[in-house]
Structure 1
């Protein structure tokens, strides 16, 4: 059994997989270790949205677009399927329309304002009742979150430079060695910690004082919808405009935020904004909410699900509102950084916490890191 590599990656979610792929593209031999037998964390518990439109113009948007290109490369190679479905932000209130028009008129993003009629033609899920307009963006992709990370890890494991070992918990790092729970030791001059929401096992003193916060989100999946076109765009509501940093510089945003705080403070209390992602099966993933740190419990709140469904019914229409699955995910997020990076020991790097943008940003963030490290 090989025990010496150029790089050891600890963590097999999308962040660790991106690190492994980018390192191997530079000709490095890579060992990826994860404690579970398949990816089970935030990488599989999301919308499957590759979402550049949520990132602010500049380095973060550029990173998201490079990540998008890597997803398309994987799709072209037959590793996973990435659909260029685009997205539509829906405006059912005048203040929502004002924010969307302000962003679109800046000409910084490849967006187009649609009339209500054009919006419904592009997406039969858009609720026409009270619909004022939509903002279409061409850059968003859809991947199946439940299979994408697993397929990527299986493909990486077939590449000459990558070895993936799942069900292999790492319990200690003594650079250049990593020690597993089974007594195995592996050596590499560079070690990258991609531990997801686990801030306790490795370098807990650093990670827990880093500013990283844990975020819990609740999500839903519907029964299959009748006659849903395959490439239906992702949908986002006016509530979403207060969540993504792409909109934070819009002068019209403050009025929207104040109106929501006045009319529906319960949405702010649970960090609720609603979105929908339709899949070829006809099922639609719905969400989501955001609870942080001490507010997180193992138990999901029916109140949150009810609030999400209440708001979703205002902005989308479904032929069948039956909910077939409910779940929650937990991710780590830094309040100001795209991802938390720190050299922990000589050759040991923390690479943790892309927040809710892991699927959107991880490939580009990993590429940036290896551009610096080599």
Structure 2
């Protein structure tokens, strides 16, 4: 069978390429090693998070992805909640960072406002009022429930756009115009996109080594459902989060926040912990997370990390039910210096990888850009600043 485009990987990056191409009338097939997507795309908060992206092209991609998520949710029939987010400040240095960020060019494109403790109490019942100094409320962020969203997108692409899905089909070899499966089957295509995320060792591993791609492991938790009449509202982030996302990196007071945590709680830096919360469609709270890289990654999860995360969350939040229903970890691939990378590994074959923890926020718009370049050029073009 011949296709205009073959995509390897049924996570959000792969689905984004398939959707963008199918909307333009191209014939598309998606190949996935497992019976369904099982990687980082279903193991995250479900946050579409423009507030964490640096101003400029990266935030523009995040805002475009926000539009595409709403369009895709309406078409595929899964909930996309315009919930927004609140960064809570329980220390003066955290509030100073937010006050520096809000009026600065670093906030360009965002719909944000500084809020008082009293205003925060009206936005969410979850904020711990003890020592709360204020916060930053952003209207921009979205929420999806990742497993529901990813499976719904695949079903929609198959039903509405005739995208052919080949699950349980490991691809073991890729050449220009040709893919081969572990069972010896072959398919051809004009162009091929490899979006295999953390599972990049199986195809063109040398390219990923040259890019110095890192694996990152994160631990996450899901509470039991909260009472039906209790809703988190916006995503919640803490002062710890300010040191994690690059959007806040130029705020003068950020160094004081980093120094305080390094001195008072060095174990949080050791495990890359910053804490956030989102509410799943079933009513439980998705909590996390931690970041361990490369050789520090172990196959088993650490109870110490879960305990540290819960302790920090309970400092900034008050919720009816802290009982943990599920624990898991995810793996994603992170580029050490770029938003992601795109490389043409042989004629008409692209590897797209290294989004780090920003795949849900950036992938749909980035994929659209790739397909746009395909449509308007006889050759694949690498987007400025990604290669």
Both structures adopt the same fold (TM-score exceeding 0.5): yes
- 1:248, 1:326 → 2: CA distance? 31
- 2:212, 2:146 → 1: CA distance? 27
- Are 2:110 and 1:112 aligned? no
Partner of 2:60: 62
Over residues 4-47 of structure 1, what are the superposed CA-to-partner deviations in whole Å (9 max), with x where a residue is unaligned?
A: 00111001111100010111122211111000111111000000
Partner of 1:48: 46
Secondary structure of the 2:61 match is: helix
How far off its partner does 1:161 sit? 4.5
- Are 2:233 and 1:235 aligned? no
- Are 2:304 and 1:317 aligned? no
16 and 78 in structure 1: CA distance in 2 versus 1, 3 angstrom threshold: closer
Secondary structure of the 2:215 match is: strand
- 1:160, 1:98 → 2: CA distance? 49
Partner of 1:29: 27
How far off its partner does 1:182 sit? 1.6
Conserved in 2, the CA contact under 8 Å of 1:124 and 1:228?
Answer: no
1:328-367 to structure 2, matched below 5 A, reads 328-367=329-368
145 and 160 in structure 1: CA distance in 2 versus 1, 3 angstrom threshold: closer
Partner of 1:11: 9
How far off its partner does 1:79 sit? 2.7
How far off its partner does 1:176 sit? 1.1
- 1:241, 1:344 → 2: CA distance? 37
Partner of 2:82: 84
227 and 128 in structure 1: CA distance in 2 versus 1, 3 angstrom threshold: farther
1:218-297 to structure 2, matched below 5 A, reads 218-230=219-231, 232-297=233-298
- 1:295, 1:105 → 2: CA distance? 39
- 2:373, 2:210 → 1: CA distance? 24
- 1:215, 1:312 → 2: CA distance? 22
| Runs of 4+ that moved beyond 4 A | 227-231
Moved more, 275-284 or 213-222: 275-284
Over residues 201-239 of structure 1, what are the superposed CA-to-partner deviations in whole Å (9 max), with x where a residue is unaligned?
A: 000111122121100000001112225544710000000
Over residues 105-144 of structure 1, what are the superposed CA-to-partner deviations in whole Å (9 max), with x where a residue is unaligned?
A: 2252311111101102111011111111011000101101
- 2:77, 2:65 → 1: CA distance? 15
How far off its partner does 1:280 sit? 3.9
- Are 2:301 and 1:300 aligned? yes
Secondary structure of the 1:189 match is: strand
Moved more, 252-261 or 219-228: 219-228
Secondary structure of the 2:68 match is: helix
- 1:224, 1:117 → 2: CA distance? 26
Partner of 2:384: none
1:87-236 to structure 2, matched below 5 A, reads 87-106=85-104, 108=108, 109-230=110-231, 232-236=233-237
| Long gaps (5+) in structure 1 | none
Secondary structure of the 2:100 match is: helix
Conserved in 2, the CA contact under 8 Å of 1:28 and 1:161?
Answer: no
* C-alpha RMSD over aligned residues: 1.2
How far off its partner does 1:174 sit? 2.1
Conserved in 2, the CA contact under 8 Å of 1:120 and 1:126?
Answer: yes
- 1:160, 1:322 → 2: CA distance? 42
- 2:230, 2:111 → 1: CA distance? 23
| Long gaps (5+) in structure 2 | 376-387
- 1:320, 1:160 → 2: CA distance? 42
Aligned residues: 372
Secondary structure of the 1:200 match is: helix
Over residues 225-261 of structure 1, what are the superposed CA-to-partner deviations in whole Å (9 max), with x where a residue is unaligned?
A: 2255447100000000000011111121111111111
Conserved in 1, the CA contact under 8 Å of 2:125 and 2:232?
Answer: no
